[in-house]
Structure 1
Amino acid sequence: MKVLCIAAHPDDEVLGVGGTLAKHASEGDAVEVMLLSDGEMARHTTVTPDVQDRRDERRREARDAADVLGVSGIEIHDYWGNQLDDVALIEIVRDIETKIEAFRPDTIYTHHYGDLNIDHELIARAVRTATRPDEDSTVDRLLSFETPSATEWAMPTADTAFQPTVFVDIDDHLAQKMQAFEVYRSESRDRPHPRNEASVRDNARLWGDKSGLSAAEPFELLLQRRR
């Protein structure tokens, strides 16, 4: 099986699907990650030498986290973080289509379409567009994941609620997820905040409790094809 995670910024892939990616890799699946930006330019208006150093650091962190999870390939694009709404959606779709055509994944994980973060929302739309179930498409399974501080902080409407229907047992891979999250220590926050070590671990345990597992990652199933 070939598995692709498409996310907006470094750490999204770990927070949302890190344990599941590690599980896939341990089972011999080919796992790759596509990040649309390094995320740093959401905090700046120009690229100074210090900013570029931080951008390079975040890219190194993403590669290091991928190694922890057993991800075989990671691709990081140059879109500016939290500004994808300034880009024609077709440009993002084309980049995603190019990746899909080259890697030919069976399963794709991406953001929840109702997230507060505009990049997450637009990437979800772009991925769904790029994975239209054409006859020659290799993608048979598409799932969306939650991202702490983006999914639960979204506008509380029935149309945007994250309603998971698939739960993956990550008990054997929770330690890897936490180790990968530690790589992104600069993105961690103190409590009370959902993006810290204790909260991330507790969230996996909570979803496990809700689904009859010791630790789990939740997903909303967007596409399932059986051939």
Structure 2
Amino acid sequence: MLKSVLVVAAHPDDEVLGCGGAMARHLARGDHVHVLILAEGVTSRSEQRDRSAATEQLSVLAAAAREVHDRLGSTSLAMLDFPDNRMDGVHLLDVVKAVESHVKMTEPDIIYTHFPGDLNIDHRIVSEAVQTACRPQPGNRLRQVLFFEVPSSTEWRMSGNSGFVPNYFCDISSTLDRKLAALGSYALEMKDWPHARSVTACEHLARWRGASIGVAAAEAFVVGRMLDTLFMT
């Protein structure tokens, strides 16, 4: 049975960093993959949030995101305008309502989102908003919530974090090239090796996660919720 998948990410590039290979696998099997990006991803580079001064960068990043998802073949892409790396200044309920709207619209079987212990504040808020928006309710078709890792954020948290200890893996041996190509389209966001958010580092991580389970490449997740439907009537 084909699935409806919703990827909820804080910034353009997080979705590919965290689960680009899994997205490509879902799309290859015919699943519907919807992507929701909540923050604009640029204005934190200035001391004050000034969209007018960042118009060109915002346009470039939005165009890159559209190019990435056109190439991947994503079913839909929604990009909102929450403030980059300032989402702690937004009422959590506003973020929850935005997520709830897309959950209602896409009716996902599976949601991929940020690990709640990331260093990046936006990542943590998005993860909490997803958990709140996805409270178990009778009749809800959601069966899996999976938390992904984002290089240069998940592993940089020094304290107050139980640590990213993956217990769910997706074999992306056949889709790693598509993930790396998509990251290449996010040139504004990617760094040079040996930065943790370089294309080379992301390939090394995928290879290591793959070696951890005996395949050529993998993405790793922490299970937030997993409902076994095998014995459900």
Q: Quick check: TM above 0.5?
A: yes
| Percent identity of paired positions between Structure 1 and Structure 2 | 38
Distance 1:198 1:102 in 2: 36
Task: Indicate how the Cα distance of structure 1 residues 95 and 200 shifts in structure 2: closer, same or farther if over 3 A, else same.
Answer: same
Cα distance per residue 1:129-170 (max 9 Å; x no partner): 11111112221110000000000001245x431111110000
* Residue number among 92, 96, 101 corresponding to 1:89 in the alignment: 92
| Alpha-carbon distance, 1:48 to partner | 5.6
Tell me if structure 2 keeps the 8 A contact 1:26–1:70. no
| Alpha-carbon distance, 1:50 to partner | 4.8
Q: How does 1:158-197 map to 2 (within 5 A)?
A: 159-197=161-199
Partner of 2:164: helix, strand, or coil? coil
Moved more, 135-144 or 13-22: 135-144
Distance 2:5 2:70 in 1: 15
* Residue number among 146, 151, 155 corresponding to 1:148 in the alignment: 151
Unmatched segments (≥5 aa) in structure 2: none
1:47 to 2:50 alignment: yes
* Residue number among 62, 65, 69 corresponding to 2:65 in the alignment: 62
Distance 2:220 2:80 in 1: 26
1:224 to 2:222 alignment: no
TM-score under structure 2 length normalisation: 0.93
* Residue number among 136, 139, 142 corresponding to 1:139 in the alignment: 142
Tell me if structure 1 keeps the 8 A contact 2:43–2:51. no
Paired AA for residue 158 in structure 2: M
TM-score under structure 1 length normalisation: 0.96
| Alpha-carbon distance, 1:208 to partner | 0.3
Cα distance per residue 1:55-99 (max 9 Å; x no partner): 111111111111222211100001011111001111100110011
Partner of 1:149: helix, strand, or coil? coil
Q: How does 1:2-21 map to 2 (within 5 A)?
A: 2-21=4-23
Paired AA for residue 208 in structure 2: L
Tell me if structure 2 keeps the 8 A contact 1:3–1:105. yes
* Residue number among 133, 138, 151 corresponding to 1:130 in the alignment: 133
Distance 1:28 1:70 in 2: 10
1:213 to 2:215 alignment: yes
Partner of 1:186: helix, strand, or coil? coil
Aligned length: 226
Paired AA for residue 30 in structure 1: H
Q: Partner of 2:31 in structure 1?
A: 29
Tell me if structure 2 keeps the 8 A contact 1:68–1:179. no
Paired AA for residue 40 in structure 1: V
